[in-house]
Chain A
Amino acid sequence: MVAESSLVIFAGRFALVVLLVSIFLALVRLIKGPDAADRIVALDLVSVLIVAFLAAYSIFSGETSFLDVAIGYVLIAFLGTVALARFLMRSAIRRSENANLADEASNNE
């Protein structure tokens, strides 16, 4: 089923353009973001925006299989975000352990 009424076509075009601009803004934060945590948050937002884009495009093009892609993408994006957050946590723990070891070493001297 392809969008026939001009209202839906106009709204779909509007939504696609606005979502593209939003993805671009989130990518700016992904490039700028001073910490690794900022980049992970920006990547999470980009994946949510891509899901919204897929849903809007499935209305615009009349192709329903984009919805299945959206379901799969939500799960994959969640796994990616969790993996990156655990990586950040692990490296922070290792850094603080190393700092404690250095402290003890300097106290023993």
Chain B
Amino acid sequence: MNEILTALLLVLGSLFSFVAALGMLRLPDTVIRMHAATKAGTLGAGLILIADAFFYAELGITLRALAAITFLLLTAPVAAHLIGRAAYYSGIRLWKKTWIDQLKDRYHPGQTKR
């Protein structure tokens, strides 16, 4: 039973990680790419860590996997927020189909660079 769960979680987690990497390669601009990297990447790594917990089925291993998942879930949004702010402020070019940009003219008043 545990082996079936382990195998299933391993395959699912690696497929989500692959989706994240594919999005990183194919999506059109920095902010949209961050969406793929942060969400799908964290989900993939988390699923594989849960697979670890099911495979060993020991208290220590489960706690370690849970600690790693907690750190991932705590740090990923903070890092994504910091990168997004720095990227927008440094003037990345948004996708040409972006039709709503509420920060326009807030960070660089007078400069119309995009």
A interface list, Cβ under 8 A from B: 1, 3, 5, 7-8, 10-12, 14-16, 18-19, 21-26, 28-29, 35-38, 40-42, 44-45, 48-49, 51-52, 55-56, 58-59, 64, 67-68, 70-71, 74-75, 77-78, 81-82, 85-86, 88-89, 91-93, 95-96, 99
Contact = CB atoms under 8 A, between A and B. Distances in A.
Contacts of B24: 25-26, 29, 41-42, 45
Interface of B: 3-4, 6-8, 10-11, 13-15, 17-18, 20-22, 24-25, 30, 33-34, 37-38, 41-42, 44-45, 48-49, 51-52, 55-56, 61, 64-65, 67-68, 71-72, 75-76, 78-80, 82-83, 85-87, 89-93, 108, 111
Contact of A51 (B55, B72, B86, B90): B72
A35 B20 contact: no
Contacts, number: 197
